Structures are given as C-alpha cells and as structure tokens.
Chains A and B, each alone.
Chain A
Amino acid sequence: MIDPLALAVALPLLGALAITMLPSAARTLGLLAALATTAAALWVTLLVWGGGAPRSELGGWGTPLGIALRADGLAAALLTMANVVGLAVSVHATGYFGATAASRHFWPLWLLLWTALNGLFLAADLFHLYVMLELMGLSAAALGALSGTREAAQASLRYLLVGLLGSMTYLLGVALVYTAYGSLDLALVAGAMTPGPVAWAAGALLIGALLLKSALFPMHFWLPPAHANAPAPVSAVLSALVVKAAVYLVLRFWLELCDGIATEAAGLLLGMLGAAAVLWGSWRALRAERLKLLAAYSTVAQIGYLFLFFPLLAATPAGPERDQLITALVLLALTHGFAKAGFFLAAGLVQKSTGHDRIRELGGAAQSLPAVTFALGLAGVALIGLPPSGTFFAKWVLLARAITLGQWWWVPVVMVGTLLAAGYVFRVLARAFTREPTPRCFVTDARTEVPALLLAILAALGMGLAAHPLTVLLGTGG
C-alpha cells in the first residue's frame, strides 16, 4: 500500500538525490519533486480532513522501538501551508536562479530542507524529531550562504553554530526524557510525564532549545543577518517555514507533553518575551535601511505575536475558548507564513531589478513593477494585521481573550506593534508613488512574479475569509 505520510518525507529526499546525480537537469527534476511532494502533503491533509488520523510505522517496527509518522489537524494545517509555500518558492526559483551555478547548489539543499520540514511536522517521536532538526539546521545554514558574499558566509556560520547549540540542548532534553520514562514516542511520554523536577527540567530543555531555533527575543540575534543576506527564495523559506517549524514544535510540546506541567508563570514568561519581540522587532524594522533586513526584523516581531498566545493558553481551561485560541494561533502562523514568503520573493525581485534593496532609493523600481508592488502591499496588509487578512481575525481573538481574562496589558503591546508595522510597511509602499511613467504591463515576468503575488493574495484575502475550514481541520469548530 502507498503511504502518503512516508511519501511526503521521502519524495523530496529522492528528488535531492536524483539532482545530485543529474545536476544538469536540476530545474526539471526539482520542479517535479516539488509538485509530487506537494501532492503527497495535500493527500495527507485530505485524509485528516475526512476525519482520519493517519499513522505509519516505518519498516514495520512498532512503538516504542521504531520510527513513526502521524498526522493530526495541527500537523496537517502547518504541512499544507509549508508545502504550498514550498511549491510557490520552487516555481519562483526556476526563474530567479535560472541555469546558473547557484541553481545546481540550490535545488538539492532546498529539497533536503523540505524533507526536514515535512519530517518535523509528521514525526511522532522525539528522536526522529532530533534528526529532522539537525537536517533542517544544516541544510538551512548551507542555503543561507548560497549568495557567496562575505556577510552571507559570516551570518550563516553564526546561524549554523546557534543551530547546533539548539540541537545539543534539545538532545540533552531527549536523553533526560528517555532515562526517566524509557520511551521517546510523543504520546507515550505525554502519558508518563507528571509534574516534578525531571519533567520541568526536560520541558525547559526541549522548549528552550526550540525557542533558540524560533528566534524568540532575546535569542533572535542570529536571525536578521542570516535571513537578510540569503538569496530571496531562501530568505522566504527561512522566515516563513523554518522558524515556524520550531514554533510548531513548541506549541505541540506545550499542548501535549507539558499539559498540566507548564505553569501560568512559564506562560507569562513566554508572553513577556513575545511582547518584547513584538516591540523590538517592529521598531528595528521601522529603522531598517534595507528592504530584506526590514522583512527579517518583521519576522522577529511576528514570532513574538505567536508567543503572546501562551499566557492566555495557560490561563484558559480546555474547552471552546481554548480551542478558539489555538485556532487563532495557527491562523496567525499560517497567514504569516504566506505573507512573509510573498514579501521576501517580491523583495528579491525589487533587489534584482535595481541591483540593491536600499529603501530610500527604491522609487522608480517599485513603480516599474506593479505586480511586485502589489505583492509587497498585500503581504504588508497581512503583516500589519489589517482586514481581511487572517492576522486581523487572529488578533481580534487574542485581544478579546486577553480582555476577558483581565490581562489587558497585552492590548497596548499588540496595538503599538500594529502601528509600528503600519509604519514600516507604508515606508516601503510610499516609494511606489512617484512621477515615473506608467509601466506597460501589470506582470513583467510571470514565473517569478505570479508566485509572490499569489502568496500575498492568499495571506491578505484567503486566510481571513476562509478561516472556517481551518476550524474543521483542527477539529475546533465547536
């Protein structure tokens, strides 16, 4: 029987191997692998949508020994977003890199990274997750250095070292769990964990490692240079997917492993770090001189919003309200994924057409590429959190819950963050209104511009107006 879970992880890996053997056909093979992988991921989502809970034991080794993959609503939601973004980035990359030498290096590394991402979303045990985290960190750092500049190499080296530090910390947590509970399967460990020093230490190590990888303030220092100096399609993947995968694991551990162990104080700590990230990231984005650096700092801020949900989750007992919060958190993560990917792809096109991305001097460039400017604008709408983007409704739920719980201090944080975001987005968009002559066509190069525009439209319109299916997928419809 064909197993869609295994396919979603194996297809990109096969693609990477095939390209390594036949580098001259890199683009064709890469695009084929991208299409096949996305199809497999959507198949998994359809299974979950139909009420299934697919699970597969690789090689026939059952729990607790073997490696298992499984999908639930949360995994399926993130998997779908990551694969749609992945496909769009792949199509974009065929045009962006063309047939240059960078293209030959890009494709195998990107498909390895894709393998790691799908593996992270679907893995059912802690050690398998560790392997995928390492694969993700290594391939991401290598991709970040692709542009070959001195800054990119430096930033990627730092990224690599931070990633290794994170992985080692994570491994320590895994060892502790295995010693204490004799299993690595997520479900089994979750059942065995009881509040106590061992559980707290293990939880702190696992989540702490992932916080480093998700660049939560003040552990964000490595992110802006790494994301800003990578080639644009790589930046898109790093910002939209790689940090999001780490946040996904934090959420999963928080909800499953640490249910009953995580205290309100821990939630409050995460929330405060998130608030600091929102304010600091937005402020730095507002001051950034380069478009891609702006986008990178914006990611720091957007990750912060996701962590604002944790103190509210910790204070809300299981029930419809908590489900609503989780839905909003996922909605925010997905919307940001689409928006940031679209934003980076568009920023890359601006950089390509002008040869630089200094915001102050963008004038004519933005004007001459209407589709790209629209992509920046629509993605910007989602980053600010204006309607009808998914971010708007997620923020609505976040603030409503905060007010109901009496934690009103999150309200000014979110609103100041929103206004700062409006500031940094419109700082870019204002450059689009110059007295340059009108360009001839809306779209100049369909292969690179259309994916960026579609991602931005998905973020600004699709995720907001079509939020309902997400509640069905997550099983939080109430």
Chain B
Amino acid sequence: MAKTIIDELIEAGEYVLPGTTACPGCGSTLALRYVLKALGKDTILVIPACCASVYQAIYPKSAINVIIYNVAFASAAAVASGIRQALDFRGYEDVNVVVWGGDGGIVDIGFATVSGAAERNENIFVICYDNEAYMNTGIQRSGSTPPGARTTTTPLGKIVGFKKPMPFLMLLHGIPYVATGNVAYPLDLYEKVKRAKDIKGFKYIHIFSPCPPGWRYDDSKTVEVGKLAVETGYWILWEGRNVNGRIDIKLSPPSRPYLDPAKRKPIEEFLKYQGRFRGFTEESVKRLREWIDFQWNLLKSFLGTK
C-alpha cells in the first residue's frame, strides 16, 4: 500500500513531548508539533520572549526535543542570523535555524530585526504563531490584535487600528518564501514547512494560533475557532514565492472556496464563539469586514498579476 501523508506524519516522530507547561487547548504547541515534524531533528529553535519561552518547560527540563536557544524579545531574527553564519562557516549548512515567536516578538518589537534579516535574505525561517495579543504577559493588545477585540489594554474592545498585514509586508521584502498557516489545517501547514525547508534563503510563515484563555472560548474548541477563521474569510491560507523578480502567489486549498464572498460564513459566526468579542458592535463588525476585504483585495491584486 502506498504511503499516505498520515504514515509520514507518524514516522516523523514527536518533538513536542508530553510535559509542556502550555495552557489546555494551546494553538501554538499544536502548530509547533507539525512544524517540527516537517523540519526534523537537525533544527535549532531560536525563541524570543513569548508563550513558547514558558511552555517549553522549566529548567532543567525541556519538553521540546530539539535544541532551543532562548533570546531577548526583539533579538531573535538577528541571533538566528548569527547562528546561521557561524554554522555555515563551520560547514553545517543543512541545519535548520528557526525563529519561533509570537506576534509581539515578530510583528511589533522584533519587526525591525525580522525585516533586516529578510532584507539580507538570511537562510533562516521566521515563524510567527499569531495569537493576536501579548498572551504570555496577560493578554495585552498587540499590532496583530483585530479591531474590536477585548484585551487587558483594550478592556472595552476599543477599535485602535487594523491588524498589521504582516505576511503581506514580508512578501514585499521579495524573500523566496512566505506562507500563512492555521492550526486547524495541520496538513496544509506541514506541507508548507516541508516545501520551505528545501528553499535557500529567508522563509516566513505566519500561523493563525487560537488561544483559549486569551480569546475566551472553551479550550476544546481551538480547531473549530481556527476553521471558522478560514470559513468566514477572516484568515486566508496562501503561499507566495519570489521567482525571478515575479511574485507567484497561490491560494491554498482550504481557502480557495472563499475567494467568492458569497461562500464565506458571516463574520459574526467567528465572533460569537469568543469572549474577547463579547458585546461586539456594528462598528467593530464593519471594521472587521473591511479588514477581510482589505486582505482579499490585496491577495487578488497579486493573483491578478500573473
């Protein structure tokens, strides 16, 4: 019988072991599980301050079965650049150097560092698990928080701005590979990481990572929340490559039906699941719809350049 992708996933082994100190239903550990299955053991995770600096477990133990180098908040992509250059100098070019950080460390405070490493086209991965706020410090708003979401610094759900369109910003760096992922679609994520692994240069992957305590939903519903994000068109799964100066962008299979707005579920379906949107207003729904349109229009403009 031919090997299926499920066989492959099982054979890949486990790198996220029992014993993490993550919250029940954590989207980030789930995403990391599939990312590491794709990357394998010759991988160094560079982790800035984020949930992963805590859920990897407390000294002298580690629940993640690859080398982890913990670093300061804004520094990860630069530390990873240094590790990469040193390994290359020593002839270990086949080791994956991977920044694994939250939206705070990648989209906000670490943005300049990520941008710099991307501009230099360092041969590293930067992977952001986006739980849409500073969860590790207690749910403060980040540049990746959607309009209208309640956080401890927007306690009444004040609309501050759009969510920073990070994957698009990275695409415009002209780097070889950009993709979005979603923990509710593990095979899509696994295959993207595997494809990226064979590409030399800077790889950016942005993963939608629902957070039960931060978003206030039942911790058995992480996958449902992830799916609704795609089905409402709020989160789009795509991958983009820069080939000979041309941006080649592809809508990933789970998101393909939702190119047609008529197929999308109403955004309210996504909102009502989550306590962070409790008592959402018409204005916040309007802003979120704008955000959805903004992303799809951006994407379509790239799709249209072919």
The answer to whether A and B interact is: no
A interface vs B, CB < 8 Å?
none
B interface vs A, CB < 8 Å?
none
